[in-house]
Structure 1
Amino acid sequence: MVRQVIFDTETTGFSPQDGDRLIEIGAIEMIDGNLTGESFHRYVNPERDVPMEAYRVHRISTEMLQDKPLFRDPSVGEAFLAFIEGAELIAHNAPFDVGFINAELDIAGLPALTNKVIDTVPMARRKFPGAPASLDALCQRFGISKAERDEKGHGALLDAELLARVYIELTGGRQASFLSASTSSRSAPGDAGGDRAVTYQRPRPLPPRITDEERAAHRAFIEELGTPIWAKLQG
C-alpha cells in the first residue's frame, strides 16, 4: 500500500527567513493512486499582518485569521504531523511549501519533516519540456476546471485538490484506475461468466472506413482470381 498526501500552503509572503508566516494548510489523502476523501485543513493565525499583495492572491485577510489557532497549537502542528505520518508528500514547487512548514515546526519546537517529498514541478517539466509548469497551466492542459479558484482566489485545500488531479494525470493514474476497475470487474470463480473480463461496447459504432470505390475495386480483384478457395471449400 502506498499512502500519499497532496498538500498546499498559503502564506503572508515568499520567505520565512524574512518573517513571512504560514496562514493556511490544506492536504488530502491518496492510497494506491485513489483519493480516499480524507483531508486536513486549517487556517492559522500568523501573529502578524497579511500584506495586501498576499491578500490579492489568496483573499485571506488579517481579520479572518485573528481568531484562528497558532501553528504551535496541538490542533495544527501536531495534528498535521499525525495526518502525514508515514506518507509520501506531494506538492507543487515543494521547496516553498516544505520550507514554510519546517519553519513553523521549528518555531513550535516540533521536529522537521522527514517524509519523502515529490515535487510536481520538475515532473511536469520532464513530461512537457519547454511548456509552462504552473498549476494553472497544467489544469488547462489536462482540462481540469479551476473556475472556483478563478472566482475565489487561491486556497490551500482547493489547490491541493487541483494538484491531486494534476498528479493523477502526470502519472497516468486515470488509465491505471481504468485498468484496475476492469480487472476488479472480472466475474468471480464459479459465476456463470467464469473468469472473463467485462467487455465494453462503444455507445455508437464507428462510421465505415471503406469507400464504395474501394469495395468495387476489391470485387473486381476477386473476380480476376476466378473461383476463390473459400468458395471451393464451401462447395
Structure 2
Amino acid sequence: MRQVILDTETTGIDPKDGHRLVEIGAIEMVNRRFTGRTYHQYINPERHIDAEVVEVHGIDDARVANEPVFAAIADEFWAFIEGAELVIHNAPFDVGFIDHELSMLNQQRKSPVLGPVRDHCGVLDTLTMARKMHPGQRNSLDALCKRYDIDNGHRVLHGALLDSEILAEVYLAMTGGQTALTLDAATAAEQEQADTSNEGMSIQRLSLTPGQLRVVRPTDAERAAHKAKCEAYQLNWFEGAASDA
C-alpha cells in the first residue's frame, strides 16, 4: 500500500476567508516503510499571513515573498500524492485548503483539471482515529507523541515536513507499533546489531514473501516413531501416578 503522510501550513484558519497555503510537507511510505521520497515546498500565498498563525509556524510574509506561487508547483505536488492514501492529522483542514487551491487553479487554466483530493486519493484522518482509540483524552499531535513515547523535543514551531515526520511515527505506533521508517542497508545493519542481546544471542529475522516459506512434513516412519514416543510417555506417567497414590 502506498501512503503519503502529509501536513500543511497556511495564512489563516479558513480558505473561505481567502486564506492560502504557505507550506506543504509530505513523506511517502509503501507497506509501512519509508521509501526515501519526500515532498517539501514553501509557497507564496499572494496575500498577507495573519500574525496569530506566524506565532504558530514562524512563516512570515518575508519568508515566502520569493517562493513560487501554488500554480507553479501544483503539477509536481499532485503527481506526488495522486493515487496514494493520505494520512493527515485533522484531514478536513488540510484537504479543504488543498481543494481550495486546486479549484482556483482549475478556474485559471482549465486544463489539466486537478482534484478534488478525495476523488483521486484515499484519506485517513489520524485525529478521528485517535479520538476513537482514546475517547475523552487530548489527541493533538503533541499529546499523541507523549502517549506513544515519541520524541518531539525538536518541534519548537510547527513545520509541514517536520510534522509529517512526527505524524508518520505516531501513525505507525497507533496501528501496530512498527516505527522502522527506512529500508536502506545501513539502517538494516543497525537494526540487526540492536537485536543482539547482552548474551550475544542474535534474533534471526526472516524476510520472505508469501509462498517462499517451505513446509516440511514428517514421513510415515517419523509419525510412527512420534506416536510410540507419546504412548511410552503416557504409560510411564500413569505408572508413576499409581505408585504415588
| TM-score interval (norm. to shorter) | 0.7 to 0.9
Distance 2:65 2:180 in 1: 44
Q: Over aligned residue pairs, what C-alpha RMSD do you find?
A: 2.7
Check conservation: 1:21, 1:104, Cα contact below 8 A.
yes
Shift of 1:131: 1.2
Distance 2:77 2:154 in 1: 25
Shift of 1:165: 0.5
The equivalent of 2:205 in structure 1 is 182
The equivalent of 1:70 in structure 2 is 69
The equivalent of 1:122 in structure 2 is 128
TM-score (norm. length: structure 1): 0.73
Paired residue type of 2:75: E
Paired residue type of 1:94: A
The equivalent of 1:101 in structure 2 is 98
| Matched residue count | 187
Distance 1:53 1:119 in 2: 25
The equivalent of 2:228 in structure 1 is none
The equivalent of 2:110 in structure 1 is none
Distance 1:89 1:143 in 2: 24
The equivalent of 1:91 in structure 2 is 88
**What does 1:126-141 align with in structure 2 at a 5 Å threshold?**
126-141=132-147
TM-score (norm. length: structure 2): 0.70
**What does 1:12-23 align with in structure 2 at a 5 Å threshold?**
12-23=11-22
Instruction: Describe the SS at the equivalent of 2:71.
Output: coil
**What does 1:197-212 align with in structure 2 at a 5 Å threshold?**
none
CA offset digits 1:13-59 (Å, max 9, x no partner) = 11000011100000000100111121000000000111111110000
Instruction: Describe the SS at the equivalent of 2:114.
Output: coil
CA offset digits 1:140-192 (Å, max 9, x no partner) = 11111111112xx00000000111111101111418999xx833189xx9xxx
Paired residue type of 1:111: L
Shift of 1:195: 8.4
Q: Which runs of 5+ in 1 are unaligned?
A: 197-227
Q: Does 1:56 align with 2:59?
A: no
